[in-house]
Amino acid sequence: MGKALGFFEISGVVAATDALDIMCKAADVEFVTWEKKLGGRLVTVIVRGEVSAVTASIEAATAGAIKKPVCRAVIANPHPELERIVQKSRDRLLKARGETEEKQEVKQSTPKKTTAKKSSK
């Protein structure tokens, strides 16, 4: 993925989920992590991608979100310290879900198996 980070802060988990959906559908960005503060009343969603894709996704979420965003930012070529902080947040999210970065990569690269149900005639 690219070298830009997009931060989108909005009030409420439902509004943040809606904004993330808009961002991922609007451009080729990857969800990195989210931070919930004040009991989920303030949520910051972080995405990664090429600068143009991140900018487009943030603009789309700003225009289409169910609530007005509190704050938003696109950071091109983020400093390594910022990358470290974002990675710590992602690690906390994955740990809470019982996953690791390696499991996440395998899950994304493994195609899902589908099974056909037998009809009972």
Q: Tens digits of per-residue pLDDT, 77-91?
A: 999 999 999 999 899
Distance CA(47)–CA(32), nearest Å, equals 5
The topology (CATH level 3) of 4-98 is Alpha-Beta Plaits (3.30.70)
The rounded mean pLDDT for the chain is 85
- Pairing of the two strands 42-49 and 29-37: antiparallel
- Please determine, for residue 106, whether its predicted confidence score (pLDDT) is greater than 70: no
User: In which element (H, E) is residue 92 found?
Assistant: helix 80-96
Q: Tens digits of per-residue pLDDT, 44-55?
A: 999 999 999 999
Residue type, 50: E
Domain range summary for the chain, segments of one domain joined by +: 4-98
Which string of b and e fits 88-112 if b means at least 16 CB within 10 Å? eebeebbeeeeeeeeeeeeeeeeee
At residue 41 the predicted structure's pLDDT band, cuts being 50, 70 and 90, is: confident
